[in-house]
Amino acid sequence: MHKTSTKVLISGFLLILFASICFSIYIYMQFNATISLGKGHYLAMDSNTNGAYNMEIYEDHSVKIFLDKVYVEGTLEHEQTQYTDSYYIQTKDKKYYMTINHDTVSVPVEVKSPTEEIKLSVKAIRQALENKIVLRSRYSSVYPTIPELASLALGYQIPEQRSDVYMLIEDIYSSYKINIAILSVEELLKATYNVIIHGKVYSLESLKNFRGVISFEDF
């Protein structure tokens, strides 16, 4: 009876710890999903000709795109749904949709609890692939990302070297040019310690064109 109670307490503690880590990932890795445009001067690029123009947005949301003369004049409109967050310029007879380039990027993370699987499996890798595909196809305007940026799978432990996981990661890259990276809770805790205690800063640039096992010591 005593052993059973101890096992229950340990399992409960591990579950709470893992939930806390997942919540931390949500807080620190989820980026601002709302793209905001306001009054100011911007650089506008024509996607067809790559020509550069000036764009001025005024307090009343009126917009002018100009260079030597005014080429487009209209009103800035915002259109938001469950899957999109778009801005466009409405003129008398046309809509000009805008692609906004900014410094915010999103990283999809597939999290596996130890109650689901102790070591990351091929199922986690497939779901990490699906996360990247869905993010780019459905949510790119809300959660902008970079194609070369790895999609992550976080598990309690990483699998042994002979696991099919590593072959699948390479097969996915060969077929889809999508990078999948995996890491353990232990590695995440080490990185968290280095950030809090030593002020270490990790750059997302390190996840560009990276696949395989993440070791934050190399970042």
The pLDDT of residue 83 is above 60: no
Can you give the pLDDT at residue 33?
A: 41
Q: Which of 98, 133, 148 is the endpoint of a domain?
A: 98
The pLDDT of residue 167 is above 90: yes
User: What is the C-alpha separation between 179 and 128, in angstroms, rounded?
Assistant: 10
Do the bridges between strand 62-66 and strand 40-45 make them parallel or antiparallel, or are there none, so unpaired? unpaired
Q: Which of 56, 76, 98 is the endpoint of a domain?
A: 98
45 and 78 housed in the same domain: yes
Can you give the pLDDT at residue 159?
A: 96
User: What is the C-alpha separation between 111 and 118, in angstroms, rounded?
Assistant: 12
Q: Could you read off the pLDDT of 203-216 as tens digits, one per residue?
A: 777 888 999 999 98
Cβ–Cβ < 8 Å for 40, 57: yes
What average pLDDT does the segment 184-210 reach? 87
Can you give the pLDDT at residue 123?
A: 96
Percent of all residues in the chain with a pLDDT value above 70, rounded to a whole number: 78
117 and 180 housed in the same domain: yes
89 and 173 housed in the same domain: no
User: What is the C-alpha separation between 108 and 137, in angstroms, rounded?
Assistant: 13
Rg (CA), the chain: 23
60 and 129 housed in the same domain: no
88 and 191 housed in the same domain: no
To the nearest 10°, report the CA torsion of 92, 77, 103, 107.
-120
Can you give the pLDDT at residue 31?
A: 41
61 and 168 housed in the same domain: no
Can you give the pLDDT at residue 208?
A: 87
The pLDDT of residue 34 is above 50: no
Q: Could you read off the pLDDT of 101-131 as tens digits, one per residue?
A: 656 678 899 999 999 999 999 999 999 999 9
Whether this model's pTM surpasses 0.85:
no
77 and 145 housed in the same domain: no
211 and 147 housed in the same domain: yes
Q: Could you read off the pLDDT of 138-165 as tens digits, one per residue?
A: 887 677 788 899 999 999 999 999 999 9
Do the bridges between strand 151-155 and strand 109-111 make them parallel or antiparallel, or are there none, so unpaired? parallel
Band the pLDDT of 97: cuts 50, 70, 90.
Answer: confident
Domain residues for the domain of 46 are 40-98
Domain count, the chain: 2
User: What is the C-alpha separation between 64 and 53, in angstroms, rounded?
Assistant: 10
Q: Which of 72, 98, 124 is the endpoint of a domain?
A: 98
* Token output for 118: 């102790």
115 and 57 housed in the same domain: no
